[in-house]
Structure 1
Amino acid sequence: MHVDFTRLRYFVAVAEELHFKRAADRLMITPPPLSKQIKLLENELGGRLFDRDYHNVGLTPLGETLLGPARDILDRVDDLKAMAARMTHGATVIRIGATAYAPSDFLAQLETTVAALTVPTAFSVPGSAAEVTAKLVSGHLDLGLIHLPSSDRRLRHRVVASYPGAIAVRFDDPLAASDSVSIEALRERDVVIDFARPNPVVLAGLTRGLQARGVQRIVRTTNQLGGELEMATQVFNRHLVALVTYAPASAIGRIFSPPEFKLIPIDESTWPPVKIALSWAPDRLGDPAHLEALVDEIAAAIGKSDARR
């Protein structure tokens, strides 16, 4: 039986997102070819990997059984590529991974920056910040982009981006008349924080922070990871308030854009901005000083790019 490694990577992405559009964005392809490749993989394996209907995607028993082994195979393939690159290029390949839940425009900027480095690199988007963290501490990644805070004390961090918090509301919502809002303005509203669901640490921190400021009515709109379109539909239909990151050029910023929605920044004096950091595990590195110099180079390049915008 022949199994295509690229299709295997597509399978893992859809299994982790449980959402074809989000998985396609993460893989930087469009949904139709992704769906086609999944069907081809199902033919290769002899059974369905996903149960699909109009709104939901779920793993079949076969998909659940194969997900773990598929991840192990892809880790081995990545290690094999890194080993080959070290031998053929005479230099260590720096393996860089990023959370798929960072703003999409920033992810694209990071990938472009990494591609321009003079050292050999391998860039990937493994999934949530928790998955990136796990790969850092296990030694499968050298450098990772994650959201802060991080609960793992084995990691060091360099903040490379900071985004104000924001709310997304329907165009005719009373809050839509504002150019900025305080977090206290949400105390009598039903608030959605589903965008943070892939990161349990961030989700718990958001929940505690909102409750401490008197925002108690936190509701859930989707059981999927990456179900932004379903979340937006429910925000629109139920007049909810979505708590998101103020990144108008990102995928989620475009979803919550006029004329149907308005994206409004939150006053930073009432709600701290989201911090995104490059992280690494010094104990897992042969030459931490070399990597830290590379972090400085990436951060400086990103800063110059931001200054040109």
Structure 2
Amino acid sequence: MELLHLRYFLAVAQELNFSTAARKLHMAASPLSRRIKDLENEVGHRLFDRDTHHVRLTAAGNALLPIARGVLEQVDSIRWRLDETARPERTTLLLGVPTGVHPDLRERMGAFAERVGERFEIKRWPGGTDRLVEAVCDGRLALSLARLPVGADPALEQLPVMSERLGAVVPRDRFEGRESVALAELVELAYAGSPTAVTNAYFRGLDQQLAELGIKKRIELGSATFEGISEIVSSGLAFSISMLDSRSPVQNYRLDNVAILPFFDFHPRLETGLIWRKDRANGGDLQEVVAVAREVFAVPLHS
């Protein structure tokens, strides 16, 4: 019995119309009819009752239908079953991800995971930059996104992947109608640092820079969240600094009386890099992965 005969039978059984089934099979109706008769002769049973207006499955046809489907499903699955058998076992790699990663960068991460997906399964691991860098150093993470700078550890290599413009998070009612703000206008407000400031070298440096530029007041919020920062700013007690792009996920925590304005006399930017251990990339277990990462993240993003 030929598999093609079963495919012809299945097409007619699904359509219950020889002309429609023939078009689906890209053939004429008369040769299809002959192939069905050949199959009926081979199995020794009439499979269809047909007249000029109707086509119906016989009892034998109804019995053959699930058998034909099962046989064809098994045959059609041969290729992917062999591919699965021949495919090398995938290795799981952990990729560190800090808070507030821009959606464009997340899209690049997805493209990277897809590129290496045949050999490696990329799992994302959240955390503050300092902890993520530490985890890369001791081998718990294969790679990590990190807010730069991350120090000058000679064991690490870093690739710049994104630069984001920062703005002032201010009480909206105090700056109504404004399109930008000067740093000097914020001296009466306290600076409320980022929730990740204690684990982020960039924001620690930014705090020091603000002090040198005349911003002396501080509000210590400990383990406050982005939403907590927004509450303090909304009350009119403080300002903060955050990503200016409206698509940044930290914008989701902005309350009604909070606005984010660009500075016109101060130009802070948050740089993000991808880091890994040199020894694992140069002839090590991450050589292939890092080579792909260099291609996917070759051109840094800007917002």
TM-score by length of 2: 0.61
CA contact (8 A) 1:94 1:143 kept: no
Instruction: Report the alpha carbon displacement of residue 88 of structure 1 after superposing the two structures with TM.
Output: 8.9
Matches within 5 A, 1:166-181: 166-174=167-175, 176-181=176-181
Return 5+ residue gaps in structure 2 as ranges. 1-84
Q: Which residue of 2 aligns with 1:293?
A: 291
Give CA-to-partner distance per residue, 1:42-86, whole Å, 9 cap, x none. Answer: xxxxxxxxxxxxxxxxxxxxxxxxxxxxxxxxxxxxxxxxxxxxx
Which of 269, 272, 293 is residue 268 of structure 2 equivalent to? 272
Q: In the TM superposition, what is the alpha-carbon distance from 1:196 to its structure 2 partner? A: 3.1
Matching residue of 1:161: 162
Amino acid at match of 2:270: V
Cα distance, 1:245–1:195 mapped onto 2, change above 3 Å: farther
Maintained 8 Å contact 2:195/2:223 = no
Counterpart contact for 1:144–1:278, Cα < 8 Å = yes
Partner residue of 1:283 out of 275, 279, 302 = 279
Answering whether residue 113 of structure 2 is matched by residue 112 of structure 1, we say no
Distance 1:165 1:104 in 2: 13
In 1, Cα distance between equivalents of 2:242 and 2:270: 10
- The RMSD of aligned alpha carbons is 3.0
Q: How many angstroms does 1:230 deviate by? A: 1.9
Shift of 1:237: 1.5
1:211-290 map, 5 Å = 211-220=211-220, 222-224=221-223, 227-256=225-254, 259-267=256-264, 270-285=266-281, 286=284, 290=288
Q: CA deviation at 1:200?
A: 4.3
5+ residue gaps, structure 1: 1-86
Report SS of the residue matched to 1:205. helix
> Secondary structure of 1:195's partner?
coil
Post-superposition offset of 1:299: 1.1
Once the two structures are TM-superposed, the CA of residue 138 in structure 1 deviates from its matched residue by 0.8
Using the TM superposition, give the Cα deviation of residue 163 of structure 1 relative to its aligned residue in structure 2, in angstroms.
0.8
Cα shift readout 1:285-304 (whole Å, capped 9, x = no counterpart): 4066534422222215885x
Counterpart position of 1:50: none
- Larger helix fraction of residues: 1
Paired position in structure 2 for 1:193: 193
1:219-271 CA deviation, whole Å, 9 max, x = no partner?
Answer: 12x3325x1222211211234211112132233212226x432111234x623
Counterpart position of 1:95: 93
Equivalent position SS for 1:270 = coil
In the alignment, residue 254 of structure 1 is paired with which amino acid?
Answer: N
| Percent identity (aligned) | 17
Equivalent pairs counted in the alignment come to 214
TM-score with structure 1 length normalisation?
0.60
Aligned-residue offset at 1:284 = 3.6
Indicate if the aligned counterparts of 1:95 and 1:123 stay in contact, CA closer than 8 A: yes
Q: Letter of the aligned partner of 2:130 in structure 1?
A: A
Distance 1:283 1:237 in 2: 50
User: Do the aligned partners of residues 302 and 275 (structure 1) sit closer, same or farther apart at CA in structure 2, a change above 3 Å counting?
Assistant: closer
Deviation larger for 150-159 or 282-291: 282-291
Q: Distance in 2 between matches of 1:193 and 1:144?
A: 23
CA, structure 1 residues 202+288, in 2 after alignment: closer, same or farther (shift >3 Å)? same
Secondary structure of 2:206 counterpart: helix
**What whole-Å deviation, never above 9, does each CA across 1:13-62 have from its counterpart, x for those lacking one?**
xxxxxxxxxxxxxxxxxxxxxxxxxxxxxxxxxxxxxxxxxxxxxxxxxx
